[in-house]
Amino acid sequence: MRALSATPNAIVPAGRMIVEKRQINGYTLLRVEGVIKLGESAQFFADALKRVLAEKGGHVLIDLSEINYMDSTGIGELVGYLSRFRKAKRKLVLVQPSAQVRKLLRVAHLEELLPVFDCLEDALEIDDLTDHDTRGDGDIDDEGPAGEKRITPEAG
């Protein structure tokens, strides 16, 4: 496990899952370990996202490098909270998901909606994770750095 320079804000176990929260460069980093599947672990993941959403803050980076397995329930939680974060003008950014998680993202067509980075350092180097909608129609207008798809916030 690679140590980061920031001090963890919380480490909370739930069965076979751990979520660690840190503040780094104005972003909230959730480092998630274990499995996210139907049942307690998916609920714990949702509760962690809910707590972060309730806090005032910037965008949220979710480090999935230590996720051993995620089922469609975990993807469903990401989809559900994606719209909630977008309404709050905040982004969810995925960092280093496994091949299995990337496949789920592809199948669910979420690669166009969630920025995905291969490493935390790349995600932290992005100066502007804000959305760009030059036409005002809610569609993806361009690609950002490193091929990141830019998305626009929902109206409302």
- Region of poorest pLDDT, from 6-10, 69-73, 86-90: 6-10
* pLDDT tens for each residue of 97-123: 999 999 999 998 998 899 999 999 999
Convert the pLDDT of each residue in 30-48 to its tens digit: 999 999 999 999 999 999 9
CB atoms within 10 A of CB 89: 11
User: Cβ distance 151 to 113 under 8 Å?
Assistant: yes
Residues 47-70: b if buried by 16+ CB within 10 A, e if exposed: ebbeebbeeeeebbbbbbbbbeeb
The class of domain 10-126+133-147 in CATH terms is: alpha beta
Domain range list for the chain: 10-126+133-147
For the question of whether the overall pTM of this predicted structure is more than 0.85, the answer is no
pLDDT tens for residues 47-63? Answer: 999 999 999 889 999 99
**Amino acid (one-letter) located at 63:** D
Between the two ends of the chain, the Cα-to-Cα distance in Å is 41
SS3 120: helix
